[in-house]
């Protein structure tokens, strides 16, 4: 007997209608595109929709600090700041470079033989290595997920991993990134992982698209001197999803599709 598929709304009604109701519950979903395409706004739609449905959310900030995300989000009509205060429906963890410096190292201490260790053969275990950094992030995420009963996660962005220098060893970086996402997937929480991608390029540097259950591309194109935003879904497992390229704009309502009125 087949297990029933439960859908989780993206927070964008038109997109849900074209994906049989949104993401599959418990999956890891990649939102990928260049800077300015609307990826963080997409993640906020997802988290705030969960908060409205009493589903606790977690935003893992890797590049832009939480205070800046809240400031920018306050410009949108769908943003409700009450979800970020006591009792929190959306928790924000600051793993940006400036935020990480403020963490108490003792609060994230764990044994080297921990089951949560991401395989990093040949790399010394020290406080400055990327494997150690990812291990600590995952350890803390897993604790928050369990303690706060988190049902939705947004990681923004995975591209922050590339700031660590491994002599341009892209294979090693891909191994760590996919290992990190595999651990996140094991938490059985619906996750949106945001990844940077240069405009016009279809694949990421880290190979995360191979482990993701769905891939949503956001992009910006110049058409007759006008910059337009587009969205397309290249992969969504167990879903009869749209194959159209959808044009959208970002307004005070957030992401609004221009195709919606014609379908």
Cα–Cα distance measured from residue 20 to residue 24, given in angstroms and rounded to the nearest whole number: 9
pLDDT tens digit sequence for 31-75:
999 989 999 999 999 999 999 999 999 999 988 988 999 999 999
Q: What is the pLDDT of residue 31?
A: 96
Q: What is the pLDDT of residue 21?
A: 97
End-to-end CA distance of the chain: 35
- Tell me which residue has tokens 């764990």: 110
pTM reported for the whole predicted model: 0.88
Cα–Cα distance measured from residue 85 to residue 94, given in angstroms and rounded to the nearest whole number: 16
Q: State both tokens at 117.
A: 């260790």
pLDDT tens digit sequence for 165-184:
555 567 777 888 888 898 99
Indicate the pLDDT class of residue 6, thresholds 50, 70 and 90. Answer: very high
Domains delineated in the chain: 7-198+205-262 (3.40.50.300)
Q: What is the pLDDT of residue 115?
A: 44
Q: CA nearest 153: which of 180, 130, 127, 118?
A: 180
- Tell me which residue has tokens 């395989």: 119
Q: CA torsion, points 208, 214, 220, 222, in degrees to nearest 10?
A: 110
Cα–Cα distance measured from residue 129 to residue 133, given in angstroms and rounded to the nearest whole number: 6
Which among 79-88, 89-98, 217-226, 227-236 has the top mean pLDDT?
227-236
Q: CA nearest 59: which of 86, 24, 32, 96?
A: 96
Q: Are 256 and 249 in contact (CB under 8 A)?
A: yes
Q: State both tokens at 6.
A: 């439960």
Sign of CA dihedral 214, 197, 153, 121: positive
Phi first, then psi: give them for residue 30, nearest 5 degrees. Answer: -95, 130
Residues forming beta bridges with residue 196, ordered by sequence position: 33
């Amino acid at each position: 007997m087949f297990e029933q598929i439960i859908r989780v709304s993206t927070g964008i009604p038109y997109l849900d209608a074209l994906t049989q109701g949104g993401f599959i519950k418990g999956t890891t979903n990649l939102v990928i595109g260049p800077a300015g395409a609307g990826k963080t706004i997409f993640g906020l739609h997802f988290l705030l929709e969960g908060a409205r449905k009493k589903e606790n959310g977690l935003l893992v900030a890797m590049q832009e600090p939480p205070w800046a995300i809240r400031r920018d989000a306050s410009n949108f009509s769908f943003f409700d700041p009450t979800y970020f205060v006591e009792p929190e429906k959306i928790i924000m963890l600051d793993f940006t470079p400036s935020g990480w410096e403020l963490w108490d190292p003792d609060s994230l201490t764990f044994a080297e033989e921990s089951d949560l260790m991401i395989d990093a053969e040949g790399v010394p275990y020290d406080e400055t290595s990327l494997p150690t950094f990812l291990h600590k992030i995952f350890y803390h995420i897993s604790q928050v997920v369990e303690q706060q009963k988190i049902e939705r996660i947004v990681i923004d962005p995975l591209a922050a991993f590339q700031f660590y220098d491994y002599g341009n060893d892209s294979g090693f970086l891909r191994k760590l990134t996919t290992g990190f996402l595999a651990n996140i997937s094991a938490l059985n929480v619906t996750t949106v992982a945001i990844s940077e991608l240069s405009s016009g390029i279809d694949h990421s540097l880290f190979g995360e698209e191979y482990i993701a259950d769905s891939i949503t591309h956001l992009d910006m194109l110049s058409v007759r001197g006008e910059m337009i935003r587009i969205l397309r879904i290249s992969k969504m497992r167990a879903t009869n999803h749209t194959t159209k390229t959808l044009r959208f704009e970002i307004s005070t309502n957030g992401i609004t599709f221009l195709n919606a009125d014609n379908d």
